[in-house]
Structure 1
């Protein structure tokens, strides 16, 4: 790509920026070039500067393409092909709003393809919409403002940029786009978050509106030259900001305790935070769950930071790896592969995992059960194993969960000698877990719930005894039984209320 004014070339392409809209913003170089050509091709003639261009110019607009094709990608592809064809046989000037390489899909692609086939290209810069937008808002985009396209944001489930930094979203060209962008942003920002719509930046019709996020699609001023500025939530409201906090704790001048931690010393905390998160889930306490998820995320970031310091991997490798795995294992979501309901998803999942295992080198995990950590609690480990073997049609564990088999096991347990009791009891527990799987019961959760009920009842009984100056250890077996039965009735009444 060159910028030599096209001198000496009989063929080639000039990519020209028409500025943000005010004719006074056209550069002297742009105006000089326009005075020296006869035909100007425009992506769109719907631009305020067009009516002020040199009178002798023949204007060829690609606006009809927007009616001819069903989507923007097809429109842009047709424009690119046309300009490349013209540039191969003559000297062609193609003008676009703003700057040819700012929020402009066609010019970079034209330049890329032209370079591949040897067509000379020059770029005549224009003032983009960005400079007058910053001036209208009275802000400096540095050091970390994110730039985004409204159509891309509208198609996302989440914004895609950190809410700890400001963002500018271009091409909010109608209310439908504004509504779609609003819904995406509201997954990360409060409905009342103050934002700014900037209309016609750099033109005589420039307007800046401050309004709550949930009202942006109600603005009567939205048009082709509208953008949305989103101020940050808070300096700490992003994954990147949290990552910086963790790195700072582990820095040479950080916290002595955090700096001393290793993967092994942190192991108990990871387990503890996981169980505290489960406890919040069991209690359906959303306030506690929010806090516990943060504590669990802290452990993940600490392990990733230590691994980065040791040269093994970093958190971005972790995120990329799990994201790629999920995309690879969900072709029915990301690749359009058809599946037949939930069972079809499970079959597809197992087929993909089998392919992954075959692709691993010798010595790496390759069996169906190798992915079940042996460090898991035995009941949870049993659930995973039962689930995995059932996916491939193995019924050996299912037979242990038959009611007759369980009854036989109970009889054998009672009649067996002491040495055999533990083995038989283990088989019974495995059978009960298999029975739970057959009934669709989460055995681990069921046991935790039963333990929580017991703790509540026992605590109630203990509190009643202490209220009368008694200690449970001093009560007879019969009295303990009586009070235990009373707590059952009290607990049922409390649950009913």
Structure 2
């Protein structure tokens, strides 16, 4: 029999009566660690054996816990023993889960005497209610993540903030979600005589000289709803009874235009290098994604969770060099592997009667983007010019045919051929044609707006200018923008006011 006892979070006054009676009647107790306030106050007749030496010999916590669990099981094979741990045996005690599991496999009985955990006195020190959506995590686990799975709309309690080094790692992880100035509370020795509640900004938590093995961290919710689940709830309310008539009337197809418009507005914010506007436009785009998922859930097709699980799984599956044992030396290797993995996924699907090599290029893409993607897929089969010289020759040929075209239909047809070859040329040059054209639009707009300002300052009118004078103004605008050292961008019209 292995009896596992919780010693509570602080001094012996926090040990339960049941645990104290058991310890008083025992002869020998094995302690996970003697570094606990209650140990010095245990019954004096007890023979105490700790596993602290393992902490000094092991390189990682995982090794410490597995070695302690293995030693407890080895000792239990020879007879009954009592294994005592800080707090509650099933709150932040990795060794307990390992001992219980190992004992079950070995046919050894176990008994657990629950104890007060660090949670209850910490809540009392903070004056908060755990049932108000409190999230509970091990600080060691969270500190090892780049984007922790915490909900910033709910309070967060982290146990085992045992050192300033860990507090630093924890701070860096949490700053991916919370602002640096967000309030935080370090609670030291909760429930004990030396209890200290330290309130400070999140970025300061690793500067406290009080941090030790009895420290916990509390982070209150953000002032504004910020979690994806909050947005999903808002959209569901808009679609539900008593919601918004416009949102209720929408269908997946009716939202297509708005979806594309928001995507273009996000691209415009990227082109303008406007981070504030980009944040807003990404929010609008996210609304459309959540709205589509909500309508699909109402139809019984899939849920937002399915969408997230699908892309999360796909990303890991298609990055075996990160979540697997594949080796890559550069991004070209990554793209090559990506195509191999896509083909493997297709091979696992039920066979279709016919699937074109051009399958998968959405018709809703902008024409220039779609043209380049179509030609990339065609080139992957070998259907392309042997070298870029053939593309230039074809472009000259198509321009010649455009010059000779007569009538609107033939002009449209020949101009389309020219644009198609331009997209092919972009593919050969390794340039995204859509981005190149967007940038050209911005350059032209910036120069033209500067010409307008020059004309206004000089009292000039368009009707009075010759082509040569307009061209001179154009060259002047180009030179002025070049001297400014600022890339050509659309001038903000609000600057006039």
Aligned to 1:56: 45
| 1:396 correspondence with 2:384 | yes
Deviation at 1:420, TM superposition (A): 6.9
- Is the Cα–Cα contact under 8 Å of residues 163 and 234 in structure 1 kept in the other structure? no
The CA distance in 2 between the partners of 1:145 and 1:484, in whole Å, is 68
Q: Secondary structure at the match of 1:209?
A: strand
| 1:195 correspondence with 2:165 | no
Could you report, residue by residue, the CA deviation over 1:154-199 in whole angstroms, capped at 9, with x for unpaired residues? 2111232011211111111111101111111112222222211111
* Aligned with residue 168 of structure 1, among 154, 157, 181: 157
Deviation at 1:358, TM superposition (A): 0.6
Q: Provide closer, same or farther for how the CA distance between residues 64 and 397 of structure 1 changes in structure 2, counting only shifts above 3 A.
A: farther
Q: Provide closer, same or farther for how the CA distance between residues 175 and 371 of structure 1 changes in structure 2, counting only shifts above 3 A.
A: same
Deviation at 1:408, TM superposition (A): 3.6
- Is the Cα–Cα contact under 8 Å of residues 385 and 391 in structure 2 kept in the other structure? no
* Aligned with residue 446 of structure 1, among 411, 436, 446: 436
- Is the Cα–Cα contact under 8 Å of residues 162 and 238 in structure 1 kept in the other structure? yes
Q: Provide closer, same or farther for how the CA distance between residues 394 and 87 of structure 1 changes in structure 2, counting only shifts above 3 A.
A: farther
Deviation at 1:13, TM superposition (A): 1.6
- Is the Cα–Cα contact under 8 Å of residues 168 and 230 in structure 1 kept in the other structure? yes
* Aligned with residue 334 of structure 1, among 320, 323, 326: 323
**Map of 1:421-440 to 2, 5 A cutoff?**
425-440=415-430
- Is the Cα–Cα contact under 8 Å of residues 357 and 366 in structure 1 kept in the other structure? no
Q: Provide closer, same or farther for how the CA distance between residues 290 and 48 of structure 1 changes in structure 2, counting only shifts above 3 A.
A: same
| 1:94 correspondence with 2:86 | no
The CA distance in 2 between the partners of 1:205 and 1:365, in whole Å, is 74
Unaligned runs of 5+ in 1: 1-11
* Aligned with residue 19 of structure 1, among 1, 5, 8: 8
Could you report, residue by residue, the CA deviation over 1:140-167 in whole angstroms, capped at 9, with x for unpaired residues? 1222121122222221112320112111
Could you report, residue by residue, the CA deviation over 1:316-338 in whole angstroms, capped at 9, with x for unpaired residues? 11011101100111111122421
Aligned to 1:3: none
- Is the Cα–Cα contact under 8 Å of residues 143 and 166 in structure 2 kept in the other structure? yes
The CA distance in 2 between the partners of 1:166 and 1:365, in whole Å, is 54
The CA distance in 1 between the partners of 2:87 and 2:353, in whole Å, is 54
Aligned to 1:351: 340
The CA distance in 1 between the partners of 2:240 and 2:53, in whole Å, is 59
- Is the Cα–Cα contact under 8 Å of residues 365 and 371 in structure 1 kept in the other structure? no
Q: Secondary structure at the match of 2:209?
A: coil
Q: Provide closer, same or farther for how the CA distance between residues 261 and 130 of structure 1 changes in structure 2, counting only shifts above 3 A.
A: same
Aligned to 1:4: none
Q: Provide closer, same or farther for how the CA distance between residues 466 and 257 of structure 1 changes in structure 2, counting only shifts above 3 A.
A: farther
| 1:483 correspondence with 2:470 | yes
The CA distance in 1 between the partners of 2:106 and 2:403, in whole Å, is 85
* Aligned with residue 255 of structure 2, among 266, 274, 284: 266
Give TM-score, length-normalised by structure 2. 0.89
The CA distance in 2 between the partners of 1:65 and 1:367, in whole Å, is 62
Aligned to 1:8: none
The CA distance in 1 between the partners of 2:228 and 2:260, in whole Å, is 22
Unaligned runs of 5+ in 2: 485-497
Q: Provide closer, same or farther for how the CA distance between residues 293 and 484 of structure 1 changes in structure 2, counting only shifts above 3 A.
A: farther
The CA distance in 2 between the partners of 1:365 and 1:243, in whole Å, is 39
Q: Secondary structure at the match of 1:441?
A: coil
The CA distance in 1 between the partners of 2:64 and 2:375, in whole Å, is 53
Q: What count of residue pairs does the alignment treat as equivalent?
A: 482
Q: Provide closer, same or farther for how the CA distance between residues 99 and 355 of structure 1 changes in structure 2, counting only shifts above 3 A.
A: same
Aligned to 1:34: 23
Mean Cα deviation higher: 332-341 or 250-259: 332-341
**Map of 1:119-138 to 2, 5 A cutoff?**
119-138=108-127
Aligned to 1:252: 241
- Is the Cα–Cα contact under 8 Å of residues 386 and 397 in structure 1 kept in the other structure? no
Aligned to 2:487: none
Deviation at 1:299, TM superposition (A): 0.5
Q: Secondary structure at the match of 1:265?
A: coil
The CA distance in 2 between the partners of 1:355 and 1:239, in whole Å, is 32
Deviation at 1:386, TM superposition (A): 4.0
The CA distance in 1 between the partners of 2:91 and 2:186, in whole Å, is 19
**Map of 1:57-456 to 2, 5 A cutoff?**
57-363=46-352, 369-388=358-377, 392=380, 394=382, 396=384, 399=387, 402-414=391-403, 425-456=415-446
Give TM-score, length-normalised by structure 1. 0.89
RMSD over aligned CA atoms reads 2.7
Aligned to 1:7: none
The CA distance in 1 between the partners of 2:106 and 2:353, in whole Å, is 46
Could you report, residue by residue, the CA deviation over 1:354-403 in whole angstroms, capped at 9, with x for unpaired residues? 1111111234996653222122122101232344555x573616746633
The CA distance in 2 between the partners of 1:388 and 1:197, in whole Å, is 57
Q: Provide closer, same or farther for how the CA distance between residues 424 and 398 of structure 1 changes in structure 2, counting only shifts above 3 A.
A: farther
Deviation at 1:443, TM superposition (A): 0.8
Could you report, residue by residue, the CA deviation over 1:292-347 in whole angstroms, capped at 9, with x for unpaired residues? 11110111111111111111111111011101100111111122421121121112
Deviation at 1:440, TM superposition (A): 3.0
Q: Provide closer, same or farther for how the CA distance between residues 225 and 379 of structure 1 changes in structure 2, counting only shifts above 3 A.
A: same
Mean Cα deviation higher: 341-350 or 94-103: 341-350
The CA distance in 1 between the partners of 2:118 and 2:355, in whole Å, is 55
Mean Cα deviation higher: 47-56 or 403-412: 403-412
